[in-house]
Structure 1
Amino acid sequence: MIYLDYAATTPMSKEAINAFVEAATAYFGNASSLHDIGSNAERLLTICRQELAALIGGEERGIYFTSGGTEANILAIRSLINAHRHRGNHLITTKIEHASLYHLFQQLETEGFEVTYLPVNQFGQIDIDDLERAITPKTILASIQHANSEIGTIQPVAEIGWRLRHHGVIFHSDCVQTFGKIRIDVKRMFVDSLSVSAHKIYGPKGVGAVYIDPRIKWQPCFPNATHEYGFRPGTVNVPGIASFVTAAQHICDNMDSEHARFEQLRRCLLALIREKSLPVTVEGHPDARLPHIVGLSAHGIEGQYILLECNRDNIAISTGSACQVGKQTPSRTMLAVGKSAEEAKQFIRVSFGKWTTEKDIHRFISSLERICQQRKELETS
């Protein structure tokens, strides 16, 4: 099967698998145990913390390993607002955040917090002036994603971070889709906290991390937790973390060459759409976007129908975030950029990875052309 859904998840790389097996064999101890076997695991964990911090321009003491991106997002936000609740109760986010954050902020509204959901333009970017106007003396935190998982639009994170720091507002950014794809430097981006995940970069599922600037206070969600400096309970997954960091090092080492290759694949895809005169619209920002994510709206054809027809042709695509699969409601991102509910259901996402080739793109376009032609024939019959 041709896999064009790398934004949902990636297969583990050989490097990550080998690292997991080696760590699980030689460093199986509980990193919190005081005997030598536990100490060996703790030393490996420390090396992983140092290496991951270096990849984002952060400090070792700010890295906290989690069970994935969703837990990273939730624990980061809750730990930060717990420590700063005395300063106010106003929070800022966007209408197009990942489900883990969007639903968290909805929950926080029931707990006495006031939340401003910033709108986005037709390309999926926020307006910096809207952000400025949203800030109040009671604003304690803003959470704005680095890039959207459905259309790939990148937010002007450095400018956002600079504005928020000027106002003394803590800035968290969900970087799950961007880590390993574009450069991240927490200091240059003025990011106080971020979240990343292993399974988006050819690492194992069930592993992620939070970075919180060591100068920013946080208060644990779980009192008396002993793991990860009290950030979370539960035995630390040392083999999974070693595999995660190995995958992270490998993808960051090859980031520039892969970025150029993804741009070429994207150009190939868009050129074929024009050449075949397919009735689809490319969504997202024309320039500020991740090259490996291409959001498409198919005129008059539901995305789920296209997905199923592509699957019959042994091609895997998606209709948006994997966390929303099975939901009857249309994509929040599509609604936020101005689509009607009916138009939002016509969305599909194609995403490239390390094994994607131009031949795969041609196969997908052939399948899409067939689907569009069949629908046209049905409408005219």
Structure 2
Amino acid sequence: MKYFDYAATCPLDRDAADIFIKASTEYIGNSQSLHEAGSASANLLESCRQEFARLLDVEEAGIFFTSGGSEGNFLGIMGLLSAIRKNGRHIITSAAEHSSVYNLMKKLEGEGWDITFLPMGEDGRIAIDTFIKAVRPDTVLVSIQHANPEIGTLQPVKKIAEYCRSNEILIHSDCVQSFGKIPMDSLARSVDALSISGHKFYGPKGTGVAYVNPRLAWKPYIDGTVHEKGFRPGTVNVPGIAAMTAAAQKAHLLIKTEHNRIKELRTIFADTLTELKSPYQIFGTESDDQLPGIVGMAIKGVEGQFVLLECDRRGFAVSTGTACHTGLLSPAKTMAAMGVNGKEAKEFFRVSFGRNTESGDVVELGKLLASISGKVAAV
């Protein structure tokens, strides 16, 4: 199988896997236990916390380990809501957020919060003017995803954060897709909370990091919670966190070389697509405001689900959107947020590159898409 679904999940890095096994067999104590074995696990845990604080260039006291991006998004947003700086019940988010944020916003809406869901432009980005117009005197929180998981566009989170800071508005950003692919330190310093997930940068599934500004007086979501300084309940996954930290270190070291390599793969892919007999479209932008490894696209007249099945039959793994959205009858949220609806929205599918993607595989996939397009055009 030629894997082109890295935006959904990445294989576990082998060095990180070795760290996981070593930590699982040698650091067996609960990090909350007071005996020597517990202290050893606690020390390892704190060294991992220090490393993520270094990678993000934030205060160590604001780093909390989670089970992944979804939990980090939920607890990060709820933490900020417990620490809002002014009276109000208005929240701004985007219409294309990950389901963990979008569904939480719908739940909060049902509980009396007023939620504004911002659309995206044709380039897949939120316009600053659109955001500013949505802000009201009672706006207390903003949650904007940094990198879109379906088309790879990067949102102007830093500029939005600057506006929020001058208006006493707290801001959270889902950075699951961007961490490990582009430098994050300046963005991390600009927001009040962010979330990342280990399996998006070759760490183990079930691991993640949430950052919440330690200078905020946030309250635990569940009273009486002792793990992670009250941020979340449950025994801390020390081996998984150690492996995730190793994966994060490697991803950070490879950011520049991998970015350039994958950008070249994107160019090769686009050049190969010129063989398509049916018109095709790549959504997003080709500027620096784009993760090159995520290609959200459509072939006119061909449903994305058909493309997925045909690719799978020929040994290529692509997707029709985020894995958390798969199985729903509705099109990808990104399409609706960009104003693409109906039959055109259902033509969407996603190709995503990663560390093991080779140029020859990219050319093969491009030719396969051309043959699929040609068959449909001939019918």
- The one-letter amino acid of 2:141's match is L
Distance, in Å, in 1 between the alignment partners of 2:368 and 2:331 is: 24
SS at match of 1:49: helix
Structure 1 SS opposite 2:261:
helix
Counterpart CA distance in 1 for 2:239 and 2:151 is: 33
What is the aligned partner in structure 2 of residue 84 from structure 1? 84
- Select between 276-285 and 352-361 the one with higher mean Cα deviation: 276-285
1:18 is matched with 18
CA contact (8 A) 1:32 1:227 kept: yes
- 1:114-153 alignment, distance < 5 Å: 114-153=114-153
Corresponding residue number in structure 2 for 1:341: 342
Q: Which residue does 1:368 correspond to in 2?
A: 369
Q: Which runs of 5 or more residues in structure 1 are unaligned?
A: none
Please give the residue correspondences for 1:36-51 in structure 2 after superposition, counting only pairs within 5 Å: 36-51=36-51
SS in 2 for 1:83: coil
> What secondary structure is seen at the aligned counterpart in 2 of 1:350?
strand
Mapped contact 1:58–1:186 kept (Cα < 8 A): no
Structure-1 residue corresponding to 2:69: 69
* 2:323 counterpart residue number: 322
The residue number in structure 1 matching 2:196 is 196
User: Match for 1:284: what amino acid?
Assistant: G
Q: Given residue 296 of structure 2, which amino acid in structure 1 is its aligned partner? A: G
2:60 maps to amino acid? E
How much does 1:84 deviate?
A: 2.5
- What are the residue-to-residue correspondences of 1:237-252 with 2, within 5 Å? 237-252=237-252
Match of 2:212 in 1: 212
SS in 2 for 1:19: helix
Asked whether the 8 Å contact 2:202–2:247 carries over to 1, the reply is yes
Q: Paired residue for 2:179? A: 179
Deviations 1:215-260 (CA, angstroms, capped at 9, x unpaired): 1221111110010000010000000000111100000001100000
Aligned to 1:358: 359
Moved more, 204-213 or 188-197: 188-197
Segment of structure 1 superposing worse, 361-370 or 65-74: 361-370
What letter corresponds to residue 295 of structure 2 in structure 1?
A: V
Find the aligned partners of 2:74 and 2:260 in 1 and give their Cα distance.
33
Per the alignment, residue 109 of structure 2 pairs with 109
Partner SS, residue 185 of structure 2: coil
- The 2-side partners of 1:28 and 1:197 are apart by 23
Q: Cα distance 1:189–1:53, how it changes in 2: closer, same or farther (>3 A)?
A: closer
Question: Which residue in the other structure is 1:312 paired with?
Answer: 313
- Matching residue of 1:8: 8
SS at structure 2 position matched to 1:146: coil
How far did 1:339 drift? 1.0
8-17 or 181-190, which deviates more: 181-190
Identity over the aligned pairs, expressed in percent? 47
Shift of 1:85: 8.2
Q: Which residue of structure 1 aligns with residue 262 of structure 2?
A: 262
Q: Partners in 1 of 2:178 and 2:200 — Cα distance?
A: 9
Match of 1:206, as an amino acid?
Answer: G
- AA in 2 matched with 1:139: T
Q: 1:279-328 CA distances to partner (integer Å, 9 max, x unpaired)?
A: 21010122110010011111011001000000011000001111111100
Report SS of the residue matched to 1:199: helix
Q: Does 2:28 correspond to 1:28?
A: yes
Partner of 1:283: 283
Q: Is the 8 A contact 2:86 2:140 kept in 1?
A: no
Bigger drift between 310-319 and 188-197 goes to: 188-197
CA-CA distance at 1:25 after TM superposition: 1.1
Q: Tell me which amino acid in the other structure corresponds to 2:342.
A: A
Which secondary structure state, in structure 2, belongs to the residue aligned with residue 84 of structure 1? coil
Aligned residue in 2 for 1:302: 303
Change in 2 beyond 3 A, CA 1:278/1:265: farther
- The 1:192/1:83 distance shift into structure 2, 3 A limit, reads closer
Is the Cα–Cα contact under 8 Å of residues 275 and 367 in structure 2 kept in the other structure? no
In 2, Cα distance between equivalents of 1:125 and 1:106: 22
The CA deviation string for residues 82-137 of structure 1, in whole angstroms up to 9 with x for no partner, is 23386221111000111110111000001111111111101111111121122222
- Give the paired residue count: 378
Partner of 2:59: 59
CA contact (8 A) 2:68 2:197 kept: yes
2:45 counterpart letter in structure 1: L
In the alignment, the residues of structure 2 paired with residue 359 and residue 187 of structure 1 have an alpha-carbon distance, to the nearest angstrom, of 35
- Pair 188,310 (structure 1): closer, same or farther in 2 beyond 3 Å: closer
TM-score (norm 1): 0.97
Deviations 1:64-96 (A, max 9, x none): 101110000001111211233862211110001
Superposition CA RMSD, Å? 1.3
Which digits, 9 at most, give the CA deviation of each residue in 1:309-355, with x for residues without a partner? 00011000001111111100111111111212211110110000000
Q: Is the contact between residue 64 and residue 228 of structure 1 (CA under 8 Å) also seen in structure 2? A: yes
Q: Decide whether the 8 Å contact of 1:120 with 1:337 is kept in 2.
A: yes
CA distance in 1, matches of 2:188, 2:53: 14
State the shift of 1:50 in Å: 0.4
- 1:98 aligns with 98
Q: Can you give the 5+ residue segments of structure 2 that lack an aligned partner in the other structure?
A: none
Q: Is the 8 A contact 1:158 1:189 kept in 2?
A: no
SS at match of 1:37: helix
